[in-house]
Chains A and B, each alone.
Chain A
Amino acid sequence: KNEVEQSPQNLTAQEGEFITINCSYSVGISALHWLQQHPGGGIVSLFMLSSGKKKHGRLIATINIQEKHSSLHITASHPRDSAVYICAVRPPTSGSRLTFGEGTQLTVNP
């Protein structure tokens, strides 16, 4: 079993829909990251969080440390949000390297 599990693996939505991507992890962590990988392959860091909630534009990330669970929400989704969204954790015993989920492929149709 992977240390980081994401669901769903694939998600198709219509423009304007509210989207949720989930991440569960089985290890203690010092921080959790949400990343976006564009169709061209580049990776952008969206959020780093260790508690609570963060918001940036239409993106919201939440984390529940007790339940070892995080969610990424996208409000008013747009076709340009189509990408792979990756959850990554930094266990406190691993130094600062990241352990990644397999990613969620999001497609937003116009």
Chain B
Amino acid sequence: AQSVAQPEDQVNVAEGNPLTVKCTYSVSGNPYLFWYVQYPNRGLQFLLKYITGDNLVKGSYGFEAEFNKSQTSFHLKTPSALVSDSALYFCAVRDTGAGSYQLTFGKGTKLSVIP
């Protein structure tokens, strides 16, 4: 069965500092990995995805993520955090070895960027 872990419930970072939001996964086949962001009382917005190819994926709003197969990780990063980045971030995985197209989400990491 596929699963995703986001080990930090909350991350606090000062504005302008780099930030990392961690994600690890478990799949039987190859993973397709996704990051989403959610603002209060809103739906999720897609940030970026890893399907194949270059391990460093660039996405919306200046975010990027690095796929590391040996560590089964897909951490989200930005070099300089903005106050407007404060939101709830979800990592998700789809297992190509599974029979369905289900996307499994982590429990989310709340990011607070302090001015």
Chains A and B belong together in one complex? no
Using CB atoms and an 8 Å cutoff, list the residues of chain A in contact with chain B.
none
Using CB atoms and an 8 Å cutoff, list the residues of chain B in contact with chain A.
none
